[in-house]
Amino acid sequence: MNSRLSSELKAEALNLGFFACGIAHAEAVDDTNASHVRQWIEDGRLADMDYMRNHTDMRLDPRLLMKGVKSIVSVAMNYTPAQHIPSDQLQFAAYAYGEDYHDIVKKKLRQLALTFDFKELRMQDEPNKEDNDTYFRVFCDSAPVLERYWATRAGLGWIGRNHQLIIPKAGSMFFLGELFLTIELDYDEPMRSHCGNCHACIDACPTGAITKDGPLDANKCLSYQTIENRGGISKDIAEKMGNTVYGCDRCQQACPWNRFSIPNNTPELQPKPEFLSMTRDKWMQLSEDEYRQLFKKSAVKRAKYEGLMRNIQAIVDLSKEQKQDH
């Protein structure tokens, strides 16, 4: 039963548009990784993302997040762009090209879950178990879940030096999601790292946020600075941003594994024509109403209008200053 159901789950996940699917046993995070998480928080490498301090106990043991969870189904959805912003225009991280991935991944995970009668399966497994309405839960960057850790436990890939999940012969441009289930399934084997001695991502990081085998320092990361940061943009950070006003893909662009990436064909992840046609002048004149229309159903809302315009202005001001110096 478990082997057949596990295979059927994976097949249906691929049918729904996920690139990969694996299954891990729900248990406490191993001591080494738990220690790294606690140390990362203690050292203040989370910048001012204080929400990362919350629910550490649940983050380190999914059984505290959902009662009775036994299996964690981990999925990956490809977001490698099929079209790109012209190179001479202001840039956005590739994951933000389409609609908000949180909604897309969770919707597909619910479809996956509702394909199977998990309530009936639970009762077959444990006929004397007290009835409980919660037989599954879905997550996508929306709860205290160590997504990359569970993706590695489910055999999808490994966590590279750039702290992204890398899938063999596919790269790292993937959204991750989880389906928590209260039934036992067949579990996949974790995969060892294949980064070897490569340090391309470290060399490509403009701020030194990534170090060899060290923790990511969010304080320095351009993705944090341009999205989560609610303060100002320093001149030093603006100089590192180049022409990217939302996020930063440089560690991914440098990763040799991403040469295997294939453009995604998910309709919801395709960029709007009006987004691709934006010019520097149009960005500078963007009104709040235009922003809302352009980024309706988009993850870019995370930075808010004020944050995006702050980023654009920082680059414009630096460009003006550099021209004056010359």
- Mean pLDDT of the region 103-132: 74
**What pLDDT shows up at residue 326?**
62
Share of the chain above pLDDT 90, in %: 85
Q: Quick check: 188 and 23 in contact, CB under 8 A? A: yes
Q: Quick check: 250 and 228 in contact, CB under 8 A? A: no
Is the per-residue pLDDT at 260 higher than 80?
yes
Q: What is the pLDDT of residues 63-89, one digit of tens each?
A: 999 999 999 999 999 999 999 999 999
- Mean pLDDT of the region 146-174: 97
The span from the CA of 94 to the CA of 98, in Å, is 9
**Which among 181, 75, 187 is positioned nearest to 121, based on CA atoms?**
181
The span from the CA of 132 to the CA of 46, in Å, is 36
The string of DSSP letters for 236-271 reads: HHHHHHTTEEE---HHHHH-GGGGG------GGGSP
What lies within 8 Å, CB to CB, of 14 at 6+ separation is: 21
**What pLDDT shows up at residue 118?**
73
Is 141 an annotated catalytic residue? yes
**Amino acid letter for position 96:** A
CA 21-157-2 angle, 5° bins: 35
Q: What is the dihedral of CA 160, 262, 186, 151, to 10 degrees?
A: 30
User: Of these residues, 48, 61, 103, 141, which one is catalytic?
Assistant: 141
